[in-house]
Every structure is written in structure tokens, then in C-alpha cells.
Amino acid sequence: MHEPFMQQAIRLAEEKLSRAEGGPFAALVVRENQVIGQGWNRVVAGNDPTAHAEIVAIRDACQQLQSFSLAGCRLYVNCEPCPMCLAAAYWAGLDAIYYGATREDAAAIGFADAHIYEELGRPLSARRLPLSQLMRAEALKAFARWDALPDKIRY
């Protein structure tokens, strides 16, 4: 049941790579055994560091469904998701992720994300990318306005 979708994701990665349309990554979002979103790595092609296959597939599926929620959907990707893509999968509410190659396999060909996993485990003060808080009281005003909305849509 899962293998045909993984095979399709792997074929998409190979196809886009052979056409020089992206890096060696592709992903599918599947609902009720139908592909509703697909994506391949577009980082270099689009000058967009967030255009990983999973992100592109999630965006495509959300547009197809006209919804920010992908509850009831599964993600098939030819490689284990990086921290950004994994976080996007959680935000989208996906039910499951199936992947082929591991993050170690990706690192072996130059796509290393171990440093991000390590950074996320460190306290803010010990991270390589400094985070500095400014103007909290002013920033909280928009939060209070949103929290008071009677018809807000939580996500």
C-alpha cells in the first residue's frame, strides 16, 4: 500500500534531477490513496532556502484542498525530513511520514542538517545564531487583540 507512493516520490526526484529542475529530493502528500500534492527540491531554482520538496508538496496540497490542515494525509519523501520540513509536517497536521534514505545518507552527499538538530537542543544563549528579545510589551498587543477575537481560527 505504501510502496507505490514511495516509488512515485523516488521517480519524481530522479526525473527532476535528470532535467536539472532541482536537487535529489521529492515528496508526495497522499489522502485516501490519492496524490493531492507533490514537490521537489527548488532551493537553487527558486533562490528560496525554504523550497525543500516536503515544503513544496505541503504548499501544493494545501492549495489543492484550500485548507491549512492536512489531517488525514500522509507524506512520502525519498529522504528523511530535515528539521524545517519535519516542523512543517507537524504544523500541517499530517498523520504520518514515510521516507526512503536517512539524514545520514543525505549528509554523505553534502546535505547535512545535524548541526541544526544540535542547535535546537542547546539553550538560546548557547546557539550559534543569536536570538535577542526586543519590545515584548508592544509585541503582545497584537496577541491580545487576536486572543479577544470571537471568531478566530486556531491552528
Query: Which residues are catalytic, by number?
Result: 54
| Residues 59, 139: Cα–Cα separation, whole Å | 28
Cα 64 to Cα 107: distance, rounded to the nearest angstrom: 32
141: Cβ contacts below 8 Å, ≥ 6 apart: none
CB 55 within 8 A of CB 76: no
**How many other C-beta atoms are found inside a 10 Å radius of the C-beta of residue 38?**
20
How far, rounded to the nearest angstrom, does the alpha carbon of residue 103 sit from its chain's CA centroid?
A: 14
Looking at this protein, which amino acid is placed at residue 23? Answer: G
Nearest residue to 100 via CA among 23, 25, 16: 25
